[in-house]
Amino acid sequence: MTLKVAQMSDLHYSAGNLQESDRCFSAAVTAAIDSNVDCVIITGDSTDHALDAHAPATRALATQIKRLSDHCPVLMLQGTFSHEPPGFLRLLAMVGGRYPVTVADRIASFALTDRFEPLKEGMDCRLVLHALPTLNKADIASIVEGRVDEAAVHARQIIAGVLERWGPVNSKYRQQGTPSMVLSHGTVLNSISESGVPMAGTDHELGLGSLFAAMADAVALGHIHKQQSWSQDVHGFTQLVAYAGSIGRFHHGEEGDKYWLCWSFADGAVRLGLNATPSRKNVDLIYDGAPDLEDLRKRVSECEGAFVRLRYCIDEESRHNVDRAAIRAILESAADIQIEGKTLTVQRQRAQGISTQPLGEKLATWASVTETPGVEELQHRLELLQASSVDDIVETVLKSRTSTQPTPTAISA
């Protein structure tokens, strides 16, 4: 019998994101219910920042959580504290659905029965889950041996120790035919951000090696907004690690589609299904110099209903040529227009003593300062302008062109 687990992540509900968050999340909720999933996990950052209990974004989020909990058990993982303030998820746990909403805001292990329950020795369950939410260093130090120094690399080593200790537990349950999952919210070293940037810093708390060391069938991650996955075949079974990515497209420059994931466990194996959400359409327009209004008019259909970011780069002496009002008028059919202009400062360099030099030497000094090639030719032309009339200059140029033309070869009859 197949066990289906829906994963949704990084919902980022807020006043500014409400339309995108609710459209994408509600579509994912409907699809998950129609797919008859057995449970749902939300791997952090349900909100974009602290929300009041009566805020429209909070009410909209609670409505969707209740829809899910009327269908199946729901587990919500604590995300980044700046996005999801500690304690906020407890409010959502009180939506009053048919099944309980379980909050994982500390390191803990759960068993899926007809609900999520704390894992106990010898429990008969359908799925084992280990939660590793966003934690501060004091939390980590309180549950594992060792000390968390200021350096983030030590925190990563301690987290790796926690993951490794789950390995024997997961192996034991696998032998009994029960699959296991690890849930976490953080950055995997060398993962890729939604804008295509490798996350290669030393302060990233998760490593693929330590995640695989947990010996879980599946590792469901949140925090990075780009969907991506890794796999490893070891000890006769396949392990999968995956970010669901954000539920919607909240920023310009985000690559790829947005998804909710369906994890399917059957016959000792796990499969990962990607389900696209109706995320918004983004269009990036980039111009070197003032935006070309004629080109914009040709691209109106492409931008209709989209979130448009127009970028241009222009020198400060030409910036008055940019007509922002005209740009907005042309792209009025777009859902949103963001204009980002970068003004290049004109650098002026002093050439000491240039004011006392003859004009020809001034030209040579200017060419040296500005690194302009061909100064000898420029000086020659300047001398012509100073010493000759217009007619003489024209005659000289014509003669030089005539003398450089090849002589026609006679064709014998």
> Which residue type is seen at 134?
T
Highest-scoring range by mean pLDDT, 24-28, 302-306, 317-321, 360-364: 24-28
Structural class in CATH, domain 3-276 = alpha beta
- Long-range CB pairs of 271-274 (<8 Å, 24+ gap) are 272/218, 272/229, 272/240, 272/242, 274/227
Mean pLDDT, residues 184-209: 86
% the chain with pLDDT above 90: 66
Say what the pLDDT of residue 271 is.
96
Mean pLDDT, residues 151-161: 74
Residues in the chain: 413
32 near 60, Cβ under 8 Å?
no
Sign (positive or negative) of CA dihedral 115, 223, 14, 29: negative
Say what the pLDDT of residue 280 is.
94
Place of tokens 């032309």: 381
Say what the pLDDT of residue 139 is.
59
Sign (positive or negative) of CA dihedral 369, 371, 372, 375: positive
Instruction: Tell me the pLDDT tens digit for each residue of 349-404.
Output: 666 666 777 888 888 887 887 778 888 888 888 888 888 888 888 887 788 777 66
Instruction: Tell me the pLDDT tens digit for each residue of 245-270.
Output: 999 999 988 988 999 999 999 998 99
Say what the pLDDT of residue 47 is.
96
Mean pLDDT of the chain: 89
SS3 208: helix
Residue 149: φ, ψ to 5°: -85, 180
The residue that leads in pLDDT, 75 or 160, is 75
Say what the pLDDT of residue 121 is.
87
The residue that leads in pLDDT, 400 or 318, is 318
Place of tokens 């058990």: 73
Please say if the pLDDT value at position 331 is more than 80: yes
Say what the pLDDT of residue 350 is.
63
Three-state SS sequence of 37-65: CCEEEECCCCECCCCCCCCHHHHHHHHHH
Question: Taking the domains of the chain in order of start, what are their residue ranges?
Answer: 3-276, 282-344, 357-404
Highest-scoring range by mean pLDDT, 61-65, 189-193, 371-375: 61-65
The residue that leads in pLDDT, 205 or 255, is 255
Q: How far apart are CA 151 and CA 154, in angstroms?
A: 6
Say what the pLDDT of residue 377 is.
83
Please say if the pLDDT value at position 61 is more than 70: yes
Q: How far is CA 159 from CA 83, 93, 239, 371, in A?
A: 22, 27, 19, 56
Place of tokens 């003669």: 399
Say what the pLDDT of residue 205 is.
77
Please say if the pLDDT value at position 412 is more than 50: no
% the chain with pLDDT above 70: 90
Full-model pTM: 0.79
Residue 386: φ, ψ to 5°: -75, -35
Q: How confident is the model at residue 408 (pLDDT cuts 50, 70, 90)?
A: low
Instruction: Tell me the pLDDT tens digit for each residue of 12-44.
Output: 999 999 999 999 999 999 999 999 999 999 999
Q: How far apart are CA 151 and CA 158, in angstroms?
A: 12
**What letter would DSSP give residue 345?**
P
Q: How confident is the model at residue 138 (pLDDT cuts 50, 70, 90)?
A: low
Say what the pLDDT of residue 349 is.
62
How would you classify the pairing of strands 307-315 and 282-288? parallel
Please say if the pLDDT value at position 410 is more than 60: no
Least confident of 8-12, 267-271, 275-279, 370-374: 370-374
